Structure 1
Amino acid sequence: MTGKAIEIEDVSFSYGDIPVLDHVSLEVPQLEFLGIVGPNAGGKSTLLKIILGLLRPQQGKVRVLGSTPRRARRNLGYVPQYPAFARDFPVTVEQVVLMGRLGQGRIIGGYSRRDREIARRVMIETEIDNLAQ
């Protein structure tokens, strides 16, 4: 399956009178990686929240996997950054990848066998399976 994973066209967003995104347009092909870098308060988190459907742009269009961000949400995994995260906290790469499965089914009881299979497949496809443990 090829095509566009993310399509953003002329998106603008402001918090009150403070513009954060101003006429942003970009396309991300499926099976590609995207790095979003920039200064603090540069709009990176706002852009991600718009892609995830957590915020609505005040202008422009966003399509994720061919649908609106809200409809695509079930097919997305998102692991937010927590500034208070303790760097010495014992967590494995596999556990971080599994965090992307949160909200994909079970609410109680941990990860399913399917969640673990998907995480393992993703780690193999991205060539990080050697870091799993």
Structure 2
Amino acid sequence: GSTLFIDPATRANLELLRTLSGSRDGSLFKAIDRTVTGGGARLLADRLMAPLTDPAAIAARLDSVSFFRSEVRLCQSLRASLKSVADMPRALSRLALNRGGPRDLGALRAGFEAARAIAELFAAAALPAELAAALA
């Protein structure tokens, strides 16, 4: 595929998510994690565990990183909007399993409101292809 399979022993030895002693401190994840949502942290962990192998996909990802590094105000506004978002996938999961409640519905409402605000942030931006495709 377009991602590299890393076997569990190699993952452990690379200390991607945890050190050999089991601590998050000292892991690659801890060193680079600047996420503000649970979903963002899970996505980063997934990407560390299965890195891209396709040069075009890697270049597209780097274009997205460069975009956010150059658009400081947009990035700050995006981070502020995301901080207010509850963990929507978890709320959806609880609701799908009939274990959810009003708090989960409120989390979804707040998430959709934040999504609208985020879409407005990106509306005037010249997005790189990977981001444009993700938002389409």
Question: TM-score normalised to the size of structure 1?
Answer: 0.29
**Structure (1/2) with the larger helix percentage:** 2
- Whichever structure has more strand as a proportion of its residues is 1
TM-score where L is the length of structure 2? 0.28
